[in-house]
Amino acid sequence: MKVNYEQLYTFEDPVDFFEPAFRVKSIDKKNLDISIPLLKGEIKPDNQISFQYYMGNTKPSSIIYSGMFDVLIEKSIAELLRENGITGYRLYDVIVFGENMERYENYYGLSITGRCNTLDYYRSKLIHLGSANVPYLKGVFFVNDYWDGSDFFVEEPDEEGNYNMSVYVSEKVVNLFNKYKVQNIEFEKLSESTTSLSSVQSGKKYKLPPELRDME
């Protein structure tokens, strides 16, 4: 499928250190080990997964994030996704407990089944930001422009088995969430998205152009 990076977005937790949103942690420690494969749609839990409030506002928002990689959405949002034919995701059963162990049973866990290729840093533009002139890479691009066309999607592992945990969405998802004023979510166009060069150097130096691998 032809990729228009102006119409694809990151799907991000809008971290607010001054007024943090309701955040949860898994009650069952074994679920900590499955947080990543669960988000990436690689496994289906056999049982309902329990989450408990651990920080932030005491009132849950439409989208809840955990301290790991779990994303929970209200059932009303799940219905919006279904009614509008959104693709690339799967839901699993969860229960959320509030600060005083009150039960919230109107949420699902979100797994992402759509896929794109690993990132192509050779196509990102080197820019410098801030008064310190910190180097960043601007633009998110996929190797060979491969994306399966799903509305929700994550990266396939690269040749070293590495990947980042970013969730990406189509413009259809962005328009839908904006139309219904879904809260606690942030989108950024892939063509405008920035990543610090140092973060790529620390874990994926081999994917950078040679001249950027040791740049300070």
Banded pLDDT at 70 (limits 50, 70, 90): very high
Structure tokens at 209: 């152009």
Average pLDDT over residues 184-196: 96
Can you point out the beta strands (E) in the chain? 8-12, 23-26, 49-55, 63-66, 71-74, 89-97, 103-104, 107-112, 115-116, 125-129, 134-138, 152-155, 167-170, 186-189, 194-196
Question: DSSP 3-state assignment of 74?
Answer: strand
Using alpha carbons, list the distances in angstroms from residue 99 to 25, 32, 39, 55: 12, 20, 24, 8
How far, in Å, CA of 124 to CA of 119, rounded? 10
How far, in Å, CA of 122 to CA of 132, rounded? 24
Q: Phi first, then psi: give them for residue 2, nearest 5 degrees.
A: -65, 135
Give residue 78's pLDDT.
98
pTM of the model as a whole: 0.94
pLDDT higher than threshold 90 for residue 19:
no
